[in-house]
Structure 1
Amino acid sequence: MKILAVGDKESRYIWDHFDRERFKDIDLILSSGDLKSEYLSFLVTMIKAPLFYVHGNHDTPYIVKEPLGCTSIDDQLVIYNDIRILGLGGSQVYNNGRFQYTEKEMALRIKRLKRVLKKYNGFDILLTHAPAYGLGDGDDLCHRGFQSFIELLDQYSPKYFIHGHQHLNYGRQERFISYKKTSIINAYEYHILEY
């Protein structure tokens, strides 16, 4: 199964110069947040694949205008083609915005999912906006990752952890990091992966 992961910056290559042939075999689109609602609606219309998203820290416009044809999986575990995907959007609190959480609040969100995680024996893909603490995050409070995500990776060993928030042009950011049995992918702009 081919998955298109997107986040943080609308790709001019995709939006302005869409090539249907290049994306014809995409089976699923995952958005890690901070993209325009219209862009997500464009993707799901042109690519003809389901699109699941989590909220980024700049996604307050979604409250008024959600992306059409797309599904928010924030605080949910969804199953698509036998792949279990867990969604946890938002970033660390830095200015009390809508999709910002303290470490304690993120841990509480995860705790509320324990029953469903037990029922489905974990998950295969973790989709978040913020990275995990110490794994591709930043030094400032806004871009610091969540320790709670490390605990999820340690307990469930998903195949993939897809996040955004850390733009690849911020400096020494890497698109791929390995952590134990999990491949971590920074979805900045876009990346295609084969599951």
Structure 2
Amino acid sequence: MKLLVVSDVVNQKLYSPLVTTVAKDVDIIISCGDLPMYYLDYLVSSLNKPLFYVCGNHDHYTKKKTWCEGLREVNDFKYHSLNYQKKCFFGGVNIDMKVVEKNKVLFAGLEGSYLYNYGEHQYNENQMWNRILMMSPSLFYNRLRHHRYVDVVVSHAPPYGIHDQSDLPHRGFEAFVSFIKTFKPKVWLHGHTHLYDRNATRITKVNGTYVINSYDYQIIDLDQYLGENR
């Protein structure tokens, strides 16, 4: 299975007819957050593939009095509008705090960044721990049914000490490090940490989990990480 994983920036090569060449053989689109609705909608429409996403700290939902009435995209540098109404969404499935199965692969999602100015989709460590605890029954159910908790975790922020930075907005979560030790996902996909150096580290293996910074976009062949043990 191949994934097109996008995060944080609109790539002009993907936001064009070239997307059907660049990502022609992907099976699923994954968004790690901080992307506008029009971009995700274009990817889904062009590739005709399912989309799983989590929100970043610069995404926010807009709740309207009537569905689709006055839907407005916010295209400035601060916020990206993601419509909350079920009848007017952009073709994706929000997997935050959910565990879903697709093509025999188990996905889980955890949105947001570390708390720094009390904006939407920002959490402190205790709040993130609570979110993981609320999701854990589904993970234990997977263990009973599939003999593993989860294969791929999708988050916006990285785990603490892995691809993160020292400032609060770009700090990773210690709760994610414990999640990796406890539930042992094969792959952890995140964004949030912008990469401007081609030689910067994108992939780090931690306790058997490949943590992948998906800033901009990555095409990932899951088979090389999951193997046959699924």
TM-score by length of 2: 0.81
For residues 156 and 140 of structure 1, do their structure 2 counterparts lie closer, same or farther at Cα, with a shift above 3 Å needed?
same
Which residue of structure 1 aligns with residue 207 of structure 2? 180
* TM superposition shift of 1:174: 2.0
Which residue of structure 2 aligns with residue 78 of structure 1? 100
Q: Which is higher, the Rg of structure 1 or of structure 2?
A: 2
Q: Which amino acid aligns with 2:159?
A: A
Which residue of structure 2 aligns with residue 110 of structure 1? 132
Measured in 1, the distance between the counterparts of 2:121 and 2:200 equals: 23
Give the CA RMSD over aligned residues: 1.7
* TM superposition shift of 1:47: 0.9
- The answer for unaligned runs of 5 or more in structure 2 is 61-80, 144-148, 223-230
Over 4 Å off, 4+ runs:
63-67, 170-173
Residues 136-187 of structure 1 show CA distances to partners (whole Å, capped at 9, x for unaligned) of: 1010001000001001100121110000000012898421111121111111
Count of paired positions:
195
* TM superposition shift of 1:64: 5.8
Measured in 2, the distance between the counterparts of 1:84 and 1:152 equals: 15
Report sequence identity in percent: 37
TM-score by length of 1: 0.95
Whether the 8 Å contact between 2:35 and 2:59 is mirrored in structure 1 is yes
SS where residue 20 of structure 1 aligns? Answer: helix
Measured in 2, the distance between the counterparts of 1:18 and 1:37 equals: 19
Does residue 9 of structure 1 match 2:9?
A: yes
- The answer for unaligned runs of 5 or more in structure 1 is none
Measured in 1, the distance between the counterparts of 2:125 and 2:199 equals: 25
Of 59, 82, 96, 1:62 maps to: 82
SS where residue 196 of structure 2 aligns? Answer: helix
Whether the 8 Å contact between 2:19 and 2:46 is mirrored in structure 1 is no
